Amino acid sequence: MTENELSKIVVDCCFRIHSKLGPGLLESVYEEVLAYELNKCGISFERQKSIEVTYDEVRMGIGFIADFIIESKLILELKSVEFIRPVHLKQLLTYLRLTDIKLGLLINFNDNLIKSAIKRVVNNLPDSQQSR
């Protein structure tokens, strides 16, 4: 599956979750339910995946923990906050660059309208997939 095909499945799962649970829960609740939904869809993923940072060819240990890495092609960063801040988008872009993954989704479950709370972040995705 392409990054965009995976992201469509993830977004559909997020819509279902948000329509049933609504905003206002802890991020950990949405994470657990999303893992359940992804399993139902047969999507492979890693959850709370530790990613090392290498600097000057020296491993520095854990650099960050990704909420989800979907089929080694898509990073999901979940939030349950009042507002998505620019730093959240920068954080996800850095995760993408450090892992060489091309697409990330920043999803804020605390928004009243989930459609406006899903942000795509692209890291050198081929032009044919960037606009989807």
Residues counted in the chain? 132
All domains of the chain in start order, with CATH: 3-123 (3.40.1350)
pLDDT digits (tens, 9 = 90+) for 74-114: 999 999 999 999 999 999 999 999 899 999 999 999 999 99
pLDDT at 34: 98
Residue with tokens 């992804």: 38
pTM of the model: 0.88
User: By CB neighbour count within 10 A (0-12 exposed, 13-18 middle, 19+ buried), where does 37 fall?
Assistant: middle
The average confidence (pLDDT) of the chain is 91
Q: Amino acid letter at 71? A: E
Contact, 19 vs 90, CB < 8 A?
Answer: no
Distance (Å, whole) CA 96 – CA 121: 8
